[in-house]
Each structure stands twice: as structure tokens, then as C-alpha cells.
Copies of this chain bind each other. A is one copy, B any other.
Amino acid sequence: MSTTPAYAAQSADKPLAPHAIERRTPGPHDVKIEILYCGVCHSDLHTARNEWGNTIYPCVPGHEIVGEVTAVGHEVKSFEVGDTVGVGCMVDSCGHCDSCKAGEENYCENGFTGTYNGPAQEDHANTYGGYSGQIVVNERFVLHIRHEGDLAAVAPLLCAGITTWSPLRHWGVGPGKKVGIVGLGGLGHMGVKLAHAMGAHVVLFTTSPGKIGDGKRLGANEVVISKDPAQMAQHAGSFDFILNTVAAPHNLDAYLNLLKRDGTMCLVGAPPIDSPHPSPTVFNLIMKRRGIAGSLIGGIRETQEMLDFCAEHGIVCDIERIAMKDINDAYERMLKGDVKYRFVIEMQTLKSEPEAA
């Protein structure tokens, strides 16, 4: 075991504060990673504040991790000390169910182990995420990072990137397809970049006229103000696929009507259980054999494909860097949508802090 500094919430109503955690001694298949950067995902806030009712405390969030390998177990073949690597939302899964065997560990039938808020597969212990100095992860859940230059903006690819990449690939987005991205936040801005790089005709839907310029800069061919029924009507029945990144309850019918025959709208955000979207109109599904689906992050193989694609195409996230000590302020700004488009913690700012209790 080794001790590493971290930031943890001790309860739902406490801000995150310094806290020392233990990391296991690397086993034969483990990779030990010095964390350089960690992105700040909205799930971090939901979990730190127990908004999904399942948080185990102390809670160390963070699942958009980029770092450097400092040690490897003796069976590890794919990684060496000094490699730049990433860790996303998962650090383990059962490995033997149909989904795991299909390389879709994100849909593990027995439940994957989250990078934070576990529980671990073996001992059901809590897991601690990337708001920390080091992490030890089984090599099956470690990704190669092949980007050159500054790596801070790579970190959010590990969640925001793969969460949008996976459905875009699954539903065949590419040249000749008209694709909508609903919402321009952490997920949406990656959806626009990736769908554009895949060669699709990309239409961004936003409620904010102030985001038109950014939407186009990020790769949208068109930006539609979703509150304007006339603009929406111009796109009726024309989309092959819509990726909806908005978690807040909203009218899904407005987007279903924009799908072609056999088009799908995939939801990657979920409203709170007690305030769902208004029920979608079944006729809107029936009349053109349309579908509503959901998608959850992505498997390890496709995460590596996404990272390699992004390295090749020079794609990173648009980020704002913060120091570890500013995480609570960053959460408040994230709640207001005041971030373009992802906070990333520079983890040396944690290591240079006075040592925690």
C-alpha cells in the first residue's frame, strides 16, 4: 500500500477538502499511474453530493484521468514505465458476461466497477478517483494516450469524449448523414467536434443564441435555436441521428419530429427520477418507425479507438484549467453552465499543497 494525497467529500453537505488515501501495491496485472490531469465531470458533483443516493463516503471523484506510468506488475505487457496513459469511468468489470466478452464492459451484466464510488469487484470496497496524486489500475482498463504536446485537454476525452463517440459510431454517423447534437456543454461540444470529424453534416441545437459562434467554430454546419419553432420546423423529418446531451427535463417530441424514417435519438443525459422528461408522443415514434435510445460511456476497445482517432485528427476538449483547491468553486460555476467546456484539474497543484491530515 502507499499513501497519496487526494480531495474528498466526507458527506453530502461538505465541500471537497484534502484527504489522504491508500493505493494498493501493484499486482501482476496492475499499472501504477502518477496523475497529471483530471477532468471535472458533472457526475463528480452528483456523486460528491449524493444526488443519486448511492454515494459511499469518503468520496474522491474524478474519472477523466491522464497520467504517467510509474510502475507495472510483472505480467503487464502493454505498458511501460514512462508511458502516457488514461483512465476513464471504469477500473474493472466481471470479465465473463456476454457484454464483457463482447468488449462492452460499460454494459457489464454484473455491473462494472466505477473509477470512484466502486464497489470493487473482489472485496466490494469503495474506489477512489482521479482527484488524487496516484492511482493503481488493472492494465485492462488503462488506455494509451498518443496525443502530442499539452495533455490537459486530453483528459475529458476519457468520459465526455467516449460518451459521445460511442453512440455516434454505434448509429453509423459518417459522410452523407445528417446529425443533430442537442446542447453545447461538456458532452455536446465533444459531440459536435467528433461528428464533424467523422464527416457528417452536423447541426447543433442550443437554447442560447450566444453559442452560435462557438458551435460553428467547433464544427457545426448549422446552429438551430431550439426555442424557435420556425427554425425547428425547417428541419422536420430530415435527421438520420440526434445525440441529445441535455439532462434537464425537456420536450423530446420537438426533436423526434426532426428524425427521418428509421432515425434514432440517443439520450446520454438523464433527468432526475422525480422530474422526468414529459412523456414522448407515441405517434411520433410510430409514424416514421423512429426510436429513442440511451447510451452509457463506451467500452475499453472503443475508448482506445476514440483516443487514437482524436490523436490522429488533433482533437482535444476545450478546457479551463483549475488548481485542485478551487474545485468547490468550479462545481458552483459548472452548476451555472459557466465553463467552456470542461474544467481540468492540474494535479501538480495538489501535490504542492501542504500535506493533508
Interface residues of A (CB under 8 A from B): 98-99, 104, 107, 109, 170, 237, 261, 264, 267-271, 273, 276-296
Contact = CB atoms under 8 A, between A and B. Distances in A.
Copy count, this protein chain: 2
Contacts of A294: 282-287, 289-291
B290 A281 contact: no
23 contacts: A104-B261, A107-B287, A107-B288, A107-B289, A267-B282, A267-B285, A270-B282, A270-B283, A273-B281, A273-B283, A276-B281, A277-B279, A277-B282, A279-B279, A282-B294, A283-B294, A286-B296, A288-B296, A289-B294, A290-B293, A290-B294, A291-B291, A291-B293
A66 to B, nearest CB: 25
Contacts of A109: 237, 261
User: Which 7 pairs between the two chains have the least Cβ-Cβ distance?
Assistant: A285-B294, A286-B294, A291-B293, A270-B282, A279-B279, A276-B279, A107-B261
Contact of A296 (B107, B271, B289): B289
Contacts of A271: 282
A281 B261 CA distance: 24
Nearest to A167: B289
A98 B292 CA distance: 22
Nearest to A278: B279
Contacts of A267: 282, 285-286
Contacts of A293: 285, 289-292
B276 A282 contact: yes
Given A267-B285, A291-B294, 16 more contacts: A98-B261, A107-B261, A107-B288, A270-B281, A270-B282, A273-B281, A276-B279, A276-B282, A285-B292, A285-B293, A287-B294, A289-B293, A289-B295, A291-B291, A291-B292, A291-B293
Contacts of A276: 279-282
A289 B299 CA distance: 12
A287 B110 CA distance: 12
